[in-house]
Amino acid sequence: MNKSSKKYNSVLNEKRIKLHVFEPSNRKIWTVVGSDREYWLDPDLDFCSCPGYYFTKKNNEKNCYHLDSLKTINHATDIESVTFSDTEYRDFLSGLLSDLKK
């Protein structure tokens, strides 16, 4: 098993992909817990905020392993789902964006 496969499997096996649902609006934010921080995923935009995503896209390669892992999830049991109130949406986004600046 190569290094990329190990990372891919660890994301799935450790349930590091999270779906954050804000109610009652039903807004959703996907994240993945990386080695040093949490990254934002957007499957509709084919986007991940990890550094690997930028390097793979810059080199016209396939997606980062975080995004590939998200695309292979078939069951709700493969992810951690967390529910928040809509009133927490702004603070959640602010915290996530703050992490991305680090």
The pLDDT of residue 1 is: 47
Judged against a pLDDT cut of 90, whether residue 28 lies above it is answered with: yes
The pLDDT of residue 90 is: 95
Which residues, including other chains, have CB under 8 Å from residue 80's CB and lie 6 or more apart?
15, 17, 18, 19
Q: Domains in the chain: how many in total?
A: 1
Q: Which residue has the higher pLDDT, 62 or 24?
A: 24
The parent domain of residue 50 ranges over 3-101
Q: Up-side HSE of residue 40: CA atoms within 13 Å toward CB?
A: 17
Judged against a pLDDT cut of 90, whether residue 97 lies above it is answered with: no
State the average pLDDT over residues 67-78.
73
Angle at 17 between CA 99 and CA 38, to 5 degrees: 10
pTM: 0.79
Q: Sheet with 38-42: list strands edge to edge.
A: 47-48, 38-42, 27-33, 17-23, 80-85
